[in-house]
Chains A and B, each alone.
Chain A
Amino acid sequence: AQSVTQLDSHVSVSEGTPVLLRCNYSSSYSPSLFWYVQHPNKGLQLLLKYTSAATLVKGINGFEAEFKKSETSFHLTKPSAHMSDAAEYFCVVSDGGANNLFFGTGTRLTVIP
C-alpha cells in the first residue's frame, strides 16, 4: 500500500528565509512522488514530480525536492520564501499504473513579512 506522512501540519517562515516542508513515504515498490500546492479558493497545482529519474527534482517557482530512498523521504525546499508562497502544500504518492494519487494531510506554510 502507498501512503505519505507530512511531518508538520504548519510551518512558519520569514520572507527571504529558506523553506523546508517534510514528507516521508511508504510504498511497496519504486514510487512516483509529487508535491502539489493549493492556494485559497484555487485548484491544486503541481509543483514538481519524481519518476525514478534524477533524485533531485526542480519544480516551478524555485521549489525543489530530493528523493532519498534510504530515508524514504521527499522533502520540499526553497532557498528564499516569498509572500506569494503562503499556501497549503500536499505531498502525494502514486499507486503506479493506475495513476491513483494518495495525498498527505497537508502542510500550511505561513510567510511572515
Chain B
Amino acid sequence: EAGVVQSPRYKIIEKKQPVAFWCNPISGHNTLYWYLQNLGQGPELLIRYENEEAVDDSQLPKDRFSAERLKGVDSTLKIQPAELGDSAVYLCASSRGGRVAAETQYFGPGTRLLVL
C-alpha cells in the first residue's frame, strides 16, 4: 500500500510570506497527525485529527498556524505569516484510529521549510 504522502518536500520562503503543506494519509486511516521537528530534536505534536475533527490542537500556535481536514482524508497545514523560527521539518502521520492502545503511527517523509 502507498505510504503517507506529503508535498512539497522542500520549501524556501521569505519571512512574513504564507506557506502551506499538504498531506495525504494512508487509505483507510481515520487519524491524522501533524508534527514539528526542529533541527536536532524529536518531533512534537501540533495537531491531531479524528476524521474531520481536530481533537487535540493544544500545541498549535493559533495566531499564525491553521490546519484543516475538510473531508476527513487529506489535510493542509498553513502558516501565515511565516517567521524565521518556523524553519523546521513538518511531518504528517496517520493511523487507523479507533482509540486502540499503542497504535502504530505511519509517517510521511516530511516537508523541510526554510524561512529567510
Contact = CB atoms under 8 A, between A and B. Distances in A.
Interface of A: 32, 34, 36, 41-46, 49-51, 90, 92, 94, 96-101, 103-106
B101 A43 contact: no
Contact of A101 (B4, B40, B45, B99): B45
Considering residues A36, A44, A94, A103, which has the most beta carbons from chain B within 10 angstroms of its beta carbon?
Answer: A44
Contact of A106 (B40, B44, B45, B56): B40
22 contacts: A32-B102, A34-B102, A43-B106, A43-B110, A44-B43, A44-B93, A45-B107, A46-B104, A46-B105, A46-B106, A51-B102, A98-B48, A98-B56, A99-B101, A99-B102, A99-B105, A101-B45, A101-B105, A104-B42, A105-B42, A106-B41, A106-B42
B102 A100 contact: no
Overall SS of chain B's interface: loop
Interface of B: 3-4, 31, 40-45, 48, 55-56, 91, 93, 95, 99-110
Contacts of B93: 44
B43 A97 contact: no
Contacts of B4: 43
Contacts of B104: 46, 49
- Which interface residue of B42, B55, B102 has the most chain A CB atoms within 10 A? B42
A106 B105 CA distance: 18
B27 to A, nearest CB: 16
